[in-house]
Chain A
Amino acid sequence: EPEVTQTPSHQVTQMGQEVILRCVPISNHLYFYWYRQILGQKVEFLVSFYNNEISEKSEIFDDQFSVERPDGSNFTLKIRSTKLEDSAMYFCASTLSIYEQYFGPGTRLTVT
């Protein structure tokens, strides 16, 4: 069964460094999303992406964040200058039907 994959599974970075989190959505899906979950807290929406542009973004998704679909398969989330509070699990999701979203296993980002 097709699934969303994410790499790396765990990323450790120093405060102020740039990180890129990578996702490979399900191949025929058209809508892509990033969410994050700080340890012990709720899953929070960051951004949605459709037709090569951002559809919607939350207040969390400020100028430090960007998304890109550099080719036909990858979907990336870049954090330009990481802060301690960016430490979280980051989940990528994709969908074809705009009803159910299929989530990846997540990347644990630790900022030290």
Chain B
Amino acid sequence: DAKTTQPPSMDCAEGRAANLPCNHSTISGNEYVYWYRQIHSQGPQYIIHGLKNNETNEMASLIITEDRKSSTLILPHATLRDTAVYYCIVRVTPYAGNMLTFGGGTRLMVKP
């Protein structure tokens, strides 16, 4: 799986958009971009995934650059409950045993 690079930490004001970047310059054509988050030692929580098109769901938006070498997770209106470690994971086309490989992630602190 391609390696990802994320800033170790970011701050965001409550109510503002949180934009979390991820660099995955060695991504290959069959690799998806996934985002998970982990709130204070709880189990990781799936947020969103995409291949090349931008994606949006009730939690967030995922913007993938045209060359697919980087992506941005956008939390449109961050709340204090969004304080967590956010993981960007690049993963080959899924199959039954397909594991997730977690890196260090970005620790997002949402401040009042």
Contacts and interface: CB of A to CB of B under 8 A. Distances in A.
A102 B76 CA distance: 23
Contacts of B101: 45
Contact of A98 (B41, B43, B46, B96): B96
Chain A, interface residues (CB within 8 Å), range: 20 to 34
Contacts of B32: 99
B43 A105 contact: yes
Contacts of B104: 42
Interface in B30-62: 32, 34, 38, 41-46, 49
A89 B41 contact: yes
Contacts of B102: 42-44
Contact of B46 (A51, A55, A100): A100
Contacts of B49: 99-100
Contacts, number: 61
B103 interface: yes
A103 B44 contact: yes
Given A48-B96, A56-B99, A106-B43, 9 more contacts: A43-B44, A50-B97, A99-B32, A99-B49, A101-B44, A102-B46, A103-B43, A103-B45, A104-B43
Interface string A23-46: 000000001010101000011110
B46 A48 contact: no
A58 interface: yes
